[in-house]
Amino acid sequence: MTERDEGVSLTATYGRVAAHLVGRERELTLVLAAVAAGRDLILEGPPGTSKSTLLRPSQPSGASRWSSSRATPT
């Protein structure tokens, strides 16, 4: 995939994910930048703050290392 193809793919992903979010444009930009750079992410926050909504469609095709974990306060 060329640099231009990656840019088009990121733009398409941004548009697709942004359609499901309200007020999370900055976070979406940061998530996509990290994914494009091959970096690991940790998203923290209370339930209902769009963590999964940000991550699910941002997953690169064929990603084999994609995991989710939950911590429940005691």
**Model confidence over 34-69: pLDDT tens digits?**
888 888 888 888 988 888 888 777 665 555 555 566
Number of residues written out for the chain: 74
The pLDDT of residue 7 is: 53
pLDDT at 41: 83
Amino acid at 28: L
Contacts of 64 (CB under 8 A, 6+ apart): none
Convert the pLDDT of each residue in 2-27 to its tens digit: 545 555 678 888 888 888 788 888 98
d(CA 31, CA 25): 10
The pTM assigned to this predicted structure is 0.63
